[in-house]
A and B are shown apart, each in its own frame.
Chain A
């Protein structure tokens, strides 16, 4: 049986390669779609956990970090630091701004930090240390051809790019990181607001615990002592943002992924049908030589599964390559196309597609008249 399948596959290597490539392309497209979804969600979670806090305090009633406006009264920092178990409450302010150059415009989430919450991974340059320094995400630098040392004009306030960060983007928005020392100057010198009170001076507090302090106990103590804020474990706040991402992008991405799967099933069946249909003559000969329908059907099924087994790793590799190419050209996106769960899900789906796809050729073989071989 295996020998027959092997010979069927190698007798026309071009056709076998084309069929496996077509199947691999189906696998790759599904993995890329899954990878987009996974990447978008992961970016939202990382945007929170990268701030390196033991606990995060938000405005009361706000349970998200990205895409939500959080404004804490200034005195909240003092109140939080007065809670036993809190070593430092590092301030962090998030301001949505738009960077414009010529006709091009890009929204930026400007994170203003003091002693914690800055960029985690620098691709070039250094963190903001001098007045007017700013670190920007790689996607913004790539889009506008910005390098370290270049000026960056936001709302008539000139920053200087001191560093370029990797993986500092979420919600389709690159981040910029500036220091608190520049925040007031930014508000006063720029045209961002007619009334400065409209803009937040403090959005979040990144709580650093004293050695040995219990996170849950301190969180409960802050919740009781500071009515203006809500307290989250970073992983919980990250989960909130990820859940929001799933709600926002889920319907569209799941629809596209679902359509990808349905069409994947159809195409796999059609591709395998075409592969068998092109060899009806050979199957007729085998039938005339006494091979049973059951034997030949099993051979077709094994062949389909073998093609799928070849296509899966090729598809994963193809998805990884395409994902890397997309990330390299459009660094705003993260494509997690080789995450174990989606890969396993797609691999199982591909094998099921192949088995379902083999049903059509099996019917074809059942109806095949061995006498036809001798008439041609």
Chain B
């Protein structure tokens, strides 16, 4: 059976290759969409993940950062600092708005830092300083590339011009690129004083962040406190609704196309062998062995297609990332396995339709044509 299946696949190598290419093309489409989805999902929470906080403290009723508005009187941070188990706390002011540089506009998180910041500033730099001074800003390197900016160039936030003093790495995403300025500059922009948006709390060694968050909520009035991992989950959940959900929907549509095309390819492949399979049946092959052969061929083509698509994706994605820097692509092993499993299931189902027809064929019909 194995030998016959293998021979069947090699009997018409061009047709088999075309089947692999067709299914591989469909899988490649889904892999690209998955890679965009994964890349953006990860990048969208890059800031809250990298900020050095065990617990985030914010205005009551707020539970995340993306598109949220949170304001606390800064004296509440002094109360937080006094809670047992708190090693340190740093406040940031935060605004999401549109920034401009030359003709380029972008939606951004503006983070106002109490400089020198040890917990909330950029965590990787491409060039320049990571701590902005008055009238200065640190912008994502990707934005700088897009807008063709150099260190020392201006960037406009609302009606104020800032001088760029640093390019940060991994702070850019479709939904929330992070720009760092000083807290006092952001206070001027927002016409606010003695206000912070979030408190980033560092816990003393051995203190459980969840326990500490509960203690902070008990000790300080009208604040919510969340362990960092929960805050990241909340932020990702919110961000997913805004844009990333679109990519997920596109992935689903691409996946539906892939399912249809894989089914079409496998159906065509098995249909082409209908006569040979009927002959095999006439020669004594059981229905079970015919089903097994058809199933093995479908699985073999699918696995080969996934391998081809994965190799192509790995080759093309770095090129695509280089050509389109704003887009973050990340192909995970889990995504490949998911695509392979779904593809195999669809292929087996698609192969079953002609196989069932063959199983019902009168073996004599093989000799009637």
Q: Which residues of A contact B (CB under 8 A)?
A: 18, 21-22, 25-26, 28-29, 32-33, 36, 40, 59-64, 67-69, 71, 95-98, 100, 105-107, 155-156, 171-173, 191-195, 197-198, 240, 243-244, 247-249, 251-252, 254-256, 259-260, 263, 266-267, 270-271, 273-274, 277-278, 322, 326, 330, 333
Contact = CB atoms under 8 A, between A and B. Distances in A.
A98 B60 contact: no
A197 B71 CA distance: 11
Contacts of A95: 69
A198 B247 contact: no
Contacts of B36: 252, 255-256
A93 B33 CA distance: 38
Interface in B96-146: 96-98, 100, 104-107
A18 B262 CA distance: 12
Interface in B168-212: 174-175, 190-195
Contact of A32 (B61, B237, B253): B253
Contacts, number: 199
A67 B28 contact: no
Given A22-B264, A69-B95, A197-B191, A100 B246 contact: no
Nearest to B196: A194
A256 B71 contact: no
A330 B21 CA distance: 34
Given A25-B261, A197-B192, A271-B264, A61 B29 contact: no
Contacts of B15: 274, 277
A263 B254 CA distance: 11
B249 interface: yes
Contacts of A107: 66-68, 238, 241-242
B253 A267 contact: no
B250 A278 contact: no
A191 B62 CA distance: 10
Given A191-B60, A259-B29, A267-B22, A198 B245 contact: no
B58 to A, nearest CB: 11
B25 A255 contact: no
Which one of B67, B72, B260 has the greatest number of beta carbons of chain A within 10 Å? B67
B311 interface: no
Contacts of B241: 106-107, 172
A173 B253 CA distance: 22
Give the interface size bracket for B toward A. 35 or more
A25 B256 CA distance: 9
A172 B107 contact: no
Interface stretch (B153-161, B280-288, B359-367): B153-161
A194 B195 contact: yes
B28 A263 contact: yes
Interface string B76-88: 0000000000000
B234 interface: yes
B320 A248 contact: no
Interface string B1-42: 000000000000011001101100110110011001000100
A33 B250 contact: yes
B257 interface: yes
